[in-house]
A and B are shown apart, each in its own frame.
Chain A
């Protein structure tokens, strides 16, 4: 991560390890933790999003990875907050009454958003307790790693 030491970067994996494709955000965060060691802060979030939206304003770049509901399992969507509009048909999966999209809206209302927020959503279709991760979701993980590295290495964030 040449030159990115000046930037405070946070990768957030969101999900629930016990609900099939919803685990993908947490599992990707664990992978990136090994990959980046201490150069990038990595956290997994299941139900403590309230804490996260207090803290992430201290970061220059936050990359959030979560499962989203949709028909095309494995497809990866990339949204940059403030630039891209999240298509209405895509909902971030949440077993609670608040999903990721609502927490982002709350952070915006409170003025606690990070300088840059990138959201990767992997489309999943198996979200019941005890489900395994869909084959097509597993296959898309490699592509996601490449996309995140491309983000971090690109000139977009002045690394």
Chain B
């Protein structure tokens, strides 16, 4: 069939609300639109006039899946204005709570949202009838991630213990020791899961992506580092606005990001893995090499493996931090409020999350800019759809539609965050 329209009115298994429209004319793809119709929420606007102290708690409300990322990017941005240098133990606790968020968010996406695509099930409910033990283990894994966030953050969803300078209260060593056995189980399960996921059938599809992630000289990135890319970009976080631009497109309430003069780019687990493989722990590198999963992987469908590798890393790293943890004398470091502009960029589960704030001499927010990872991947998702649909145009309509949805889920889009969501239309004329 030379002409067709593929429409998915309501894309399932993504966080938020959106739709996809693909138009094919005379055998060529002529239009792809990832329609994001969830209304914008104006967080940046209502941060203006609030105290800097409120920012971590307000921005945490942007997402129920990745609130830690919002808290972390915001506190780092504000701390850069005041010249705050967190102590080693506070830094380690921030990495640990981020491990919790990666575990719960990645587990949700790998097993509940993405894996049913590979088995041909409509959803995890259907999949769980065939694979109940796997789903039960996945739920246990997610719960362990939530538990880390609860212990350090005060509660699983929208935690309330993160503040500029550190935390309001820090956990006792014994509080963390209690989850060590669960984390050891989680680490073993992740080793099994990585090997299992590597055996899935992946569509043969690659693009010449520009992968973008943080890079730190000593560690796999969570909170700190320079912004680097697979095509030579290497900038400090405060240079972000000079290299990246957000644009409004008529069919989306979420802005589209691009690298100025270069275009679409790819953030998230696959980008981090490709750019930071050498910083993974010995166990994680060993397991990755055993399944022959190594950089540079350019098949976005294999993001599910990268996400599982990172979950394994998060369990391993959490165990390291807990074993070395000593309760800090003070839960936060003191600082003086100063006016200025601050920049923060941390690695949310779905990729880099950029925050910029301008504050006055009293610490009141004068201006805020937040660029979530899904906004940064939207242009790349549309690019994948252009090429993927063109390559697999001869597939039966329902199979092509399914694969298009899967191609979007490769990115684990969080549309609620980006609007700041998903439904698919493929039109053949």
Contacts and interface: CB of A to CB of B under 8 A. Distances in A.
Contacts of B15: 96-97
Given A97-B13, A97-B14, A110 B156 contact: no
Interface stretch (B90-98, B132-140, B299-307, B315-323): B132-140
A18 B15 CA distance: 18
Quick one: which of A50, A96, A129 has the most chain B CB within 10 A? A50
Contact of B139 (A53, A95, A105): A53
B124 A106 contact: yes
B294 to A, nearest CB: 32
Given A110-B132, A110-B135, A47 B112 contact: no
A110 B64 CA distance: 25
Given A46-B64, A46-B157, A48-B156, A106 B41 contact: no
Nearest to A96: B15
Interface string A21-56: 000000000000000000000000011101101100
Contact of A47 (B125, B128, B157): B157
Interface residues on A, range: 20 to 34
Contacts of A112: 136
Given A97-B13, A97-B14, A110-B135, A50 B142 contact: yes
Nearest to B38: A95
A19 to B, nearest CB: 12
B146 interface: yes
A54 B138 CA distance: 11
Nearest to A51: B143
B129 to A, nearest CB: 5
A49 B156 CA distance: 11
B176 interface: no
Contact of A110 (B108, B128, B143, B146): B128
Contact of A51 (B61, B146, B416): B146
Interface string A79-106: 0000000000000000111100010011
B140 A47 contact: no
B125 to A, nearest CB: 5
A96 B422 CA distance: 12
B13 A50 contact: no
B12 interface: yes
A53 B128 CA distance: 13
A46 B143 CA distance: 14
Contact of B146 (A48, A96, A105): A48
Contacts of A97: 12-15, 113
A97 B125 CA distance: 13
A105 B124 CA distance: 10
B142 A111 contact: no
A22 to B, nearest CB: 13
Given A47-B64, A47-B65, A111 B132 contact: yes
A1 interface: no
Contacts of A106: 124-125, 128, 135
Contacts of B64: 46-47
Nearest to B141: A50
Interface in B135-181: 135-136, 139-140, 142-143, 146, 156-157
A158 interface: no
A135 B142 CA distance: 38
Interface string A43-83: 00011101101100000000000000000000000000000
Contacts of B143: 50-51, 54
Contacts of A111: 132
B245 to A, nearest CB: 29
B132 A109 contact: yes
17 contacts: A18-B61, A46-B64, A47-B65, A47-B157, A48-B157, A50-B108, A50-B142, A54-B140, A97-B12, A97-B15, A102-B125, A106-B128, A106-B135, A109-B125, A110-B132, A110-B135, A110-B136
Closest 3 pairs (CB-CB, A-B):
A47-B64, A109-B128, A51-B143
Given A48-B156, A111-B132, 13 more contacts: A18-B61, A48-B157, A50-B142, A50-B143, A51-B146, A54-B139, A97-B13, A97-B113, A109-B132, A110-B128, A110-B132, A110-B135, A129-B41
Interface of A: 18, 46-48, 50-51, 53-54, 95-98, 102, 105-106, 109-112, 129
